[in-house]
């Protein structure tokens, strides 16, 4: 039976782990399977999950979380996998790692606070020096991988924002059509539905305000408006998305060609 595209990895405690293999590029090539995996936090993985990722071929893990997140919730790595902490922000600007108590203190009054925070965060993900350095390093690590085997796994906490933007950039470099890239970005909403529901139910159980519940819904989701905030900021400040990838992230024509050779195959 053919795997669905993208292939959602069947983990016990990893609801937003996806193999990007099978996505088609505009020129008809296909991303190789077992090479590129976008993911979420790894501290909750079971021993069986670790064994699965080891057998699946994960050889490199790139952690896009802040140093605090990585310290408080350390990754449970596949056997033998190399690990690199590569923080997009020095702190968790997405707020997804915040406790209910912290969120209540920050967002108890304004129902739009979460939405506005996410729009600002996505703009910051393309303009801040720390974010540009992290995404530049991400591409350097991808280019340094074995050309024919081994999977790179990159993740943040929920696997939707920092991981989402890294994936938008990568799929663009590989030549995947924009509509496919956006659909992949938005897929986090359905894959994280259960986690989001649990969080909102916990808030309701503590008699949280409607504003706080609305804010949490915004923080726990991905939206077209968030991605558009980043893409419009790129157009405003840097020109085209390809200009940004070349000039800010160091992915020039030579590196694009190399990454395409490494991670694409001719369509079968």
Report yes or no on 2 lying in a domain. no
Residue 109 binned pLDDT confidence (cut-offs 50, 70, 90): low
Looking at the chain, how many residues does it have?
Answer: 268
| 33, 8 contact by CB (below 8 A) | no
Q: Specify the number of domains making up the chain.
A: 1
Three-state secondary structure call for residue 249: coil
Give the domain extent around 223. Answer: 7-265
Report yes or no on 1 lying in a domain. no
Cβ neighbourhood burial of 55 (10 Å; 0-12, 13-18, 19+): exposed
Quick one: pLDDT at residue 206? 81
Tokens of 53: 């990722």
pLDDT tens across 78-93, in order? Answer: 999 999 999 999 986 6
Report yes or no on 54 lying in a domain. yes
Residue 130 binned pLDDT confidence (cut-offs 50, 70, 90): very high
Quick one: pLDDT at residue 1? 38
pLDDT tens across 29-82, in order? Answer: 999 999 999 999 999 999 999 999 999 999 999 999 999 999 999 999 999 999
What is the domain-level CATH number for residue 208? 3.90.190.10
Cβ neighbourhood burial of 128 (10 Å; 0-12, 13-18, 19+): middle
Report yes or no on 180 lying in a domain. yes
């Amino acid at each position: 039976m053919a795997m669905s595209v993208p292939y959602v990895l069947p983990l016990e405690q990893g609801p937003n782990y996806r193999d990007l293999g099978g996505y088609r590029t505009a020129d008809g090539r296909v991303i190789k399977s077992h090479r590129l995996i976008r993911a979420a936090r790894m501290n909750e993985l079971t021993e069986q999950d670790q064994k699965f990722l080891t057998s699946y071929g994960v050889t490199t893990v790139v952690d896009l979380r802040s140093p605090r997140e990585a310290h408080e919730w350390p990754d449970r790595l596949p056997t033998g996998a190399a690990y690199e902490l590569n923080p997009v922000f020095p702190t968790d600007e997405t707020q997804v790692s915040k406790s209910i108590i912290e969120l209540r203190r920050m967002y108890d009054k304004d129902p739009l606070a979460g939405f506005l925070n996410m729009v600002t965060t996505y703009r910051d993900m393309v303009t801040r020096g720390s974010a540009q350095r992290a995404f530049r390093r991400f591409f350097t690590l991808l280019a340094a991988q074995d050309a024919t085997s081994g999977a790179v796994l990159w993740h943040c906490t929920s696997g939707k924002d920092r991981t989402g933007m890294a994936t938008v950039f990568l799929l663009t470099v590989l030549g995947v059509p924009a509509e496919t890239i956006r659909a992949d970005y938005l897929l986090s909403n359905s894959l994280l539905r259960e986690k989001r529901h649990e969080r909102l139910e916990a808030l309701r159980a503590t008699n949280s305000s409607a504003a706080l519940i609305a804010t949490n819904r915004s923080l726990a989701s991905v939206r077209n408006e968030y991605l558009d905030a980043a893409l419009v900021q790129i157009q405003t400040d840097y020109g085209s998305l390809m200009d940004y990838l070349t000039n800010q992230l160091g992915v020039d024509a030579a590196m694009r060609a190399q990454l395409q050779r490494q991670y694409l195959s001719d369509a079968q």
